[in-house]
Every structure is written in C-alpha cells, then in structure tokens.
Amino acid sequence: MSGQTKMFGEKAFDLLKELERSSQTIPAFDDDGVRQVLEEIKAIFEENVAQASTYNASGDRSLWPLLNFRHAALQRNKRCLLAYLYERCKRIKALRWEFGPIIPGDIKQALCEPEVTFFNNYSKSLAAYMCSAGYNQGLPIDLTNNLRPPKSLYIEVRCMEDYGKFELDDGEVIHLKKNSQHYLPRAQVESLVRQGILHHIA
Amino acid sequence: MFVQDLRNDFYRQLVGKRILIVVNYDIDAICASRILQALFKYDHMLYTVVPIMGVTGLKRAYGEHQGDVKYVVLVNCGGCVDIVELLQPAEDVTFFICDSHRPLDVCNIYSDRQVCILGDASLEENIPAFETIFYDSDGEDDEEDESSDPEQQHNDSGAGESDQEDEAPRSRKLSRLERHEQRVLKQRARRQWESERDRIMFEYTQFSYYGRSAALMVFELAWKLSKDNMDLLWWAIVGITEQLLLGKIESGSYTLELEQIQSHVSRLTNKTNDQNTMSASKITFENDLHLVLYRHWPVTESMRYSRYSSCQLKLWTLRGEKRLHELLLEMGLPLVHARQTYGAMDLVLRKEFFSMVERLAEKYDIADIVYGTFTLSYGYRSRYAAADYVYALLAIMESVKKHKTPEDCFLEASDALSRQHKQLLSAGIDQAKLLHAAVFRQVQSSLEARQVHSAGSFFYYVLQEEHAFFSYPYALGLLARFLLRGHVATSRARQAPDLPLIASCPLDAAEGMCLLVGVVPVREDSPRNFFGKAFEQAAQKSGVALLQDFFEPAVVQLRQSDLTRFLDALTVLLT
Amino acid sequence: MSDVEDVPETQLEIDDTEGAELEDEDDDMEQITAQKVLEILETAWINEMCAPEILPSQADMLELMVSQVAHMEEQMRDLDKNDFRAVVHSMELERVRYIMASYLRCRLQKIETFTQHILNQEAGREPDDKRLSPEETKFAQEFASNLDEYFHKVATQYMPNQQRGEAEQRIVTPNLMSHVFLKANVAVPAVIVGVDDEEVDMAAGSQHIIPYQLVADLIQNNQAQLI
C-alpha cells in the first residue's frame, strides 16, 4: 500500500480543486501532481495484477472486494486526471477566442508542451473552418468578432496603452495613445477592446 | 474670426467629419467636452478626446494627431495664443476655439478662415480695431516682414536699419537726400504708430479675465439642435458654477445667466413631465448657502471650512469659535446635531436649516452667504448642489498620486459627471473634504505664525515645502484666496482689502521648480487679474526664466532659486 | 438565452435600389426573398441556441445570406456615410452578421462538447440526413483527434495497458430529456408527452415546456420552434 496517511485518489482530487480555485486564467500545468497520480494508478494496477494472479490461482474469494475497491480507486484517479486535462483544454480553447492565434507570453509559460500543440492545432482547424465558412463567396467569416449582440454602431472607448496608429476601413487613421478617449465603429475595434488596449466606457 | 451661429457655422461644418477635441484641465472644459461628445455621438461622428495641460501639452497633442484630423475643437484652451503661429498647421486644418479665457489673441480674432472662435464678437470688450494693430503692408513693399506680427513689437529699430541697407542700391537713382528725408518721415510716423499699437496692445492684454462658460455655450448649441436633455443641462450648470466658485466671473454676470438657465430647467422639466416619478432626475433652482459641501458634512465643519463664513466670523480664533456657537444657539440648532453629518440631522432641523441661517445672516454679517444655485436630485437619496459637483471634481482632478497620472485624474473627473458613476463622485466629495480641511488648517497656522508678508503693493506668501495638496494650481488658488481674505479680516492696515496676494508652493523638490499664483484683492469684485502681464514684465526685468505654460496667465512656474529676485522685481514694477 | 433576448426584432430592409428579390444561382430552385432567408436563419439560430443537441446545418441559407450581406455592403459603399438610412442599414448588417456568427459559434460549441457523440451519429446517417456541413465535419474530426492526441501525450500513454482504452466511456452526450420552451407554429394534434403515452394537442401559437426529445421531430419539421 502506498502511504498510510493518504487515501487513494486524494492527489487527483487536489489537482481538480486547485484548478477550480484559480478561476480566471490558467494556472501552471501541475507536472508533479499529474506524475504522482499516474504513479499511483500504476502502483494500484500492479498490486491488483499481482493479487489477481493469486486470486486466479487460489480462488480465494476474500480478495474479491479488495480487487474491486482498487479498481474503483483506479477508475476514479483516471477520471479525475482526465477531467483536469479536459478542463484545461476548455480554458485553452477560450484563449484562442480571446487572444487570437498567438498565446500571450505570460500565459504560455503556464502551459505544457502538448498543450501548446493542442492550442496550435485547435487554432489551425478553427482558422480553416472560418475560412471555409464563407463558402464559395471567398469571404471568411471571422467568428471571433461579433461576440456580443450589437447595441450600437459606434462605441466610446478609452485607450489604456500606447498603441500607435490604427487605420479604419474608410481610411481614417486614429492615433491611439494612452488616456485619450475615442468614439469609433464598434465592429472594427472589438478585437482591440478584447485585448484590453481599449476600454469600453459604458 | 468669430462664429456666432454655432449651429450652421460650427456644428453643420463638422457633421460627418472626424474631430479632435482638445480639452484643458478645468471643470468648465470637462463639462463642455462632455456635452460636445454627447452631441457628436448622436450624429455618429468619430471623435478623439485628448486632455491637455498647458501650451506644451497642446502642442504635443496636436503634433501626435497631426495629419490625421482636419477639424480640431479646442475647449478652454488656445484662445489666448496665436494658434497658427504655435502649431504651424497645414492649410486644410480648421480650428474651432471654445475658450472662456480672455483676452483672446488678436491673430485668432482676425484670422480669416483657419481659426474660428465660438462666440459673439459684440459681447467681447475692447478688441483693438484691425488697422490699429496690423500694419497695412501693401504700400510698404520694403518693410513687409516686420509689419504684421504684434508679437514682434519689440523688434526695434535694429531690424529696420538693416532693411534699409538692403534697399540702398535700388534707391540710389533718386536724390539721396530726398529719399532719406522721406524715409525719416515715414519712419517717424511708423514709430508713432508702433508705440500707439504697443499701448493699445498693452491695454488689451493687461488684464486676464474670463468670458462666458464654455459648457453653457455648448449647451446652448445643443438646445438649438434640439438635442438637449437634463444631463447636458446639468453639466452646463456645473460648468458655470465652477466659474463662480473659483472667482472666474463676477457674481453679477452669474446672476444674469441664472435666468436663462432657469428657463432651460423649467422647459426640460415640463418636457419630461410624463415620466416624472419621484425617482427621476430633477433639477431645481433654489437659494442656497455658500457653505462647502454642507449636505455631506456636519454643519460646524462646513461653516469652519467655508471661506466666506470662516473669514467673516474669524473661525480660526477662539473668539470666532465662540461666535459660531452663539450663532448656532440663536439658530436653535443643538450642538449635538450641528456636529453630526448633515444627512443624519433631525429632519425638522434639516428642513429649517436654510431659513435659520438666512434669518440671522444680516446680524452676523454673513449676508452674502445666500446665493441662487441649482440642485440635482435623482432617486430617493441622492441630492447634490452644483457646488458639490464642482468641489468634488476639483478634488478628483488634483488627486495626483504616484500610480495615478494627471490624465487618470482628468478622466476620472470626467467619469464622475455621469450619474452611473456615483461612487466616483462620493469619493471625490470625501477627497474635497480633506482638501478644504487642509486649506483651513494651513490658513490657521499661517495667520498665527504671521507668514503673510506685505511687499507694499501686494502680499506674498511662500510655502517652503512640497505639499500633498497645494502643489497643484487650483488647490493653491483656493488656499491663496482663503488666506488673503483671512489676512484682510485680521489685518488692521486700511489698504489691506485693496491689495492682491501672491502665493507660491514648491512643485517638485528634485527639479527645484515652484508654482506661483496671483489672486485679486478682496475688495475687487471684478475678477480681472493683472498678474499675468505683471509676471511677464517682472520676469523680463529681472531676467528670470518664467514658465507661463498654463492657460491661466496668473499661474506660472519658475525656479525656486529665482523666487526672491522675481518678487523683488515685481515689487519694483508694481510700486 | 440572454443573447437571444438582447437582439431586437430584426427586419432586414432591402434597399429599393437593389431589388427585393434575391435570385439564386440554381434556376430550378424557387426564388426566395432575402427577408425569408433571414427569417429561416433566425429561427434556426434560436432553435440551435435552445436545443440540447445539434440540429441540421442551414449551410444553404447561410451561404445565401453571406452573399446578400456582401451585396448590401457593396450598395452601402455608394451611400453617403452620414445619411440616416446608412446608419440604419449598417446597423441592420451588424445584426445579421452577429446572428450568423453566433449561429456558427453555437454549433461549434456543441461540436466541441459532444464531438465523439456527434461523429458517431453522423457516421450512421445517410448523406442526405447529415446534420453537419462538410466543413463542420472536418472541424469535428480534427478536434477529436487533436484532443485524443493531447490526452495520449500527457496521460493515457503512461497508464497501464488495459486502462488506455475505454474511450467510449469519455463520450459526452447531450441530455435530450432536458426541458425546453417551445411554441407551436401550426396546430399539432396528439403529441405524446410523458412516459405513460399521455397526449396533448398543441394549438397553433401555443407555448409549452416539454422535454426536448419528445418534440425533436416537430422542430425539424418546422411545426414548432424553440423560444
């Protein structure tokens, strides 16, 4: 048995709790925790395999509940672990919608290698989908725009950082500088608002 | 060029264009810009708002947006400087100036297209006639380059002579003597004209003062466009109340505007009558007391920290305190109530408070404490006087801290005007309380320590250390005015009420700069301030580098080490 | 839900200049007005938002709408920017664009959640009955393999052999018995509700709360719509 004080599945549950508590962005990938859970699964499995062979050989029925119990613990561990990964996946997907195809550097550090791959693949297939969603018109629909129902054509925004020149569809050039306030077409500045460069004043 | 028909010559010109709105750091300007923004929003016009402080700020802001915008609206800035000369704009850029600072620069006035000043030329005083200040250079092909710019008026004979030498070879054909005589005559006439021009210009620019509130002007535009509403009107009221409270305009001209505003109030109130429930926002005109923030403060505090009541009763002295108690006693206001926040006072007392004070005002020599103003009420609890807004916004605007740039403060003040951001306003009111309490304490200690000195023709007061509040122009101005009144109230000197005061406070210890504010004498009701020009001349005489960057000419910056030399020069100049 | 409520009734007003009829490239297909297209899309969008499972794709209508929007944009370009009509029209376009984007997003979200379930179902359907558009199918497949790859790399490959499989246990299926709000478009007699074959007649325009699965066919036949 691994450890007297620890119950089966505790570590896996911790992983989930931790993720749940840090609600907004993605916490760093818990390499250690994941490894420990995997080790626990392995350990349980090996014990079970060993005892299962005794059981098969001797037909000792008294081992049966123990085997079942171990199996349930193993299943739970696995389920928690995958739930952890799946939840992270969801958040990574949300990143794509929020920040576009490039992950901000500080968040990237919190991801592990396969997660980055996942993000890139996801981003690629989403982009491919959006390109083809315009059908044979050759007009890609940017699904990451128009996230909110439009209330007005223009919105009042405040610039939160020096961004520089920004050109509108009709050729007007706006100089976005920190602390200036602007009234701009909503559709065209939505992504800047989402990135936090502009702040929408209600 | 003056633009009188704002609807056709200003607004219609701008419809559909992209506009840059440059706003000065004052409350009237913030209010005006908010009204303008509301108008532009209705018509889906793209705009950019940039807050600026001083001439350098204006230059920088324009430089950043240069080339992208063709229409620039300057709110409470730029009227008193030659815009074309300062910004060197491209031909197709048009400036609309909505500025309450006076006197306006003559080049702006006589600009034929590029610079449009919003306002009525007939309301402006003593604008020098065109011929008296601009030399008609048509017949004077030889002296063109020194003709048109009054700024170069001190450009004395040196330049003229070199001109002549250039011309010499051409005129050799004529009799030299004749030619010379002619020229001497012409020059004499010219000199005479120039000195006359200098005199006119001096008279014109001698005093700095303020014209109509920019917010009110823009509101009237909104009214003419039928786009006015309660919020816009309230902002206009806040704008003009700022002018009154900071002594920018005479109480007379304030009273004149009141009538106009009242008619707007009743018109808009009737218009919204159908939905007039208790919770709807409502503006009411009423007589109120010149007591700072008294609706949000205990009565005793408010009385003590208000300039007028405090100075009339000398509340910083023991005797004053006694007199205050006497007053409260006679009013029938128990101390227990007077010492708790107004909102927590007994309802009966609260209702009678105004009439109690009014009844005794004459007796206690505080007759002027009553003035007509507007209050805004919305919902069941929120009730604000226009003055509350002004003080709160002032406090917000100057609440600069390490992590809070002046621009942040500006934007916060602008936000606090909207009804949705009530918490900002409440925070501003709290901040304003701190400011007024600090002013009072400073006045008290300075008067006790006799730190207001007389230089014969004016008083001066020098703060030695950087101060959390007084290193900012408006707060220093408030302090200076309170201090002067307090000093006059205690001083025995007969001419004291006729003397102005200069207050100075270090800005930034590291750079050794200090801020200098000049305020007009107590007895003077007119807010005409001659310090702008006087500062300029004293600086010239003493050779002190003066930074007249603010759009208020009576607020300047200079090196702290130069201060004594500068004050000496000023003393000489003013005696 | 809130998304739906926030958008005011959309009425696509077609400029007189561009002709009220939108002709389809296929001659055999009957003419259909842009107004009708929008109506269909709107219903599809609301249904999609409310239904627990993925509904048949309206790719055709979407395609028509995309070209219509492009066409209107073209027209708008000639219009004076400050004309009041221009403002109204561009607002309208924004709304249409939002509906389209929101519709597609909603479908993508379902695909991402129920990936494997949807793919399995699709595999069993006739080509004419497919609910996903080809693009969506491609996206779903990519997504599924992407997710599997990720799980494999991080976790499952380290697990003991017998535990690696069981992928079918991970399939997320929509709860088809969740209740939905619904409005009958036409009178529908004898709808079976509840387990004990209880029947209800729905009058045209009547509204009901009912488990989705019982009325799924009504929605697909456009006899009723979700609200």
Instruction: Report the range of poorest mean pLDDT among A28-37, B19-28, B212-221, C72-81.
Output: C72-81
Cβ contact, residue pair C155, A38, below 8 Å: yes
Q: Which residues in chain C are contacts of B43 at CB distance < 8 A?
A: 82
Closest Cα partner for A41 from C213, C159, B112?
Answer: C159
Question: Which residue did the predictor score with more confidence, C169 or C218?
Answer: C218
* Residue C81 confidence (pLDDT): 63
Q: Which residues in chain B are contacts of C82 at CB distance < 8 A?
A: 15-16, 43-44
Q: Which residue of A has its CA nearest to C57?
A: A133
Q: Which residues in chain A are contacts of C97 at CB distance < 8 A?
A: 141, 146, 187
Average pLDDT over residues C83-95: 79
pLDDT in tens, C182-213: 888 888 777 777 666 777 788 888 888 888 88
* Residue B16 confidence (pLDDT): 80
Residue ranges of domains in chain B, CATH in brackets:
2-125 (3.40.50.2300), 450-574 (3.10.310)
Tokens standing for residue A92: 């990574």
* Residue B278 confidence (pLDDT): 52
Residue ranges of domains in chain A, CATH in brackets:
10-133 (1.20.58.1030), 154-200 (3.40.5)
* Residue B150 confidence (pLDDT): 45
Q: Does ipTM come in above 0.85? A: no
Question: Which residue did the predictor score with more confidence, A137 or A61?
Answer: A61
3-class secondary structure for B318-361? Answer: HHHHHHHHHHHHHHCCCHHHHCCEHHHCCHHHHHHHHHHHHHHH
- Report the CATH number of the C175-226 domain: 3.40.5.60
C29 interfacial to chain B (CB closer than 8 Å): no
- Cα C44 from Cα C46, distance rounded (Å): 6
In 3-state terms, what secondary structure has residue B507?
strand
Contact B240, B28 (CB under 8 A): yes
* Residue B236 confidence (pLDDT): 93
The share of chain C scoring above pLDDT 90, in percent, equals: 0
In chain B, which stretches have pLDDT less than 50? 138-167
Spans of all domains in chain C: 34-169, 175-226
Select the residue of B48, B407, B420 nearest A174 (Cβ to Cβ).
B48
* Residue B2 confidence (pLDDT): 86
Cβ contact, residue pair B43, C82, below 8 Å: yes
- Cα B427 from Cα A194, distance rounded (Å): 29
Q: Which residues in chain C are contacts of A186 at CB distance < 8 A?
A: 94
Contact B23, B49 (CB under 8 A): yes
**Average pLDDT, rounded, for chain A:** 78
* Residue B391 confidence (pLDDT): 92
Alpha helix (H) residue ranges in B347-405: 347-361, 386-397
Q: Which residue of B has its CA nearest to A201?
A: B415
**Average pLDDT, rounded, for chain C:** 75
Q: Which subunits sit against C, judged by 3+ Cβ pairs under 8 A?
A: A, B
B16 interfacial to chain C (CB closer than 8 Å): yes
Q: Which residue of B has its CA nearest to C87?
A: B44
Residue B541 φ then ψ, to 5° = -65, -40
* Residue C75 confidence (pLDDT): 79
Q: Half-sphere exposure of B449 toward its Cβ, with a 13 Å CA cutoff?
A: 10
pLDDT in tens, C128-146: 778 888 888 888 888 888 8
* Residue A140 confidence (pLDDT): 55
Question: Which residue did the predictor score with more confidence, B403 or A72?
Answer: A72
Percent composition of chain B: helix, strand, coil (DSSP 3-state, to 5): 55, 15, 30
**pTM for this predicted structure:** 0.78
* Residue B389 confidence (pLDDT): 92
CA distance C79 to chain B (A): 13
Q: Which residues in chain C are contacts of B16 at CB distance < 8 A?
A: 81-82
Cβ contact, residue pair C7, A89, below 8 Å: no
- Among C82, C90, C91, which would you mutate to test the B interface (most chain B Cβ atoms within 10 Å of its Cβ)? C82
pLDDT in tens, B436-482: 999 999 999 998 888 888 888 889 899 888 888 888 888 899 999 99
* Residue B143 confidence (pLDDT): 43
Closest Cα partner for C175 from C49, C51, C45?
Answer: C51
Given pLDDT bands bounded at 50, 70 and 90, which one contains residue C168?
Answer: low
Angle between helices B27-42 and B214-224 (to 10 degrees): 20
* Residue C166 confidence (pLDDT): 63
Average pLDDT over residues A77-94: 84
* Residue A174 confidence (pLDDT): 84
The share of chain C scoring above pLDDT 70, in percent, equals: 78
A178 interfacial to chain B (CB closer than 8 Å): yes
* Residue B218 confidence (pLDDT): 92
* Residue A179 confidence (pLDDT): 83
Contact B317, B440 (CB under 8 A): no
Q: Which CATH architecture has domain C34-169?
A: Up-down Bundle (1.20)
Beta bridge mates, B558: B514, B546
Query: Does C85 have pLDDT greater than 80?
Result: no
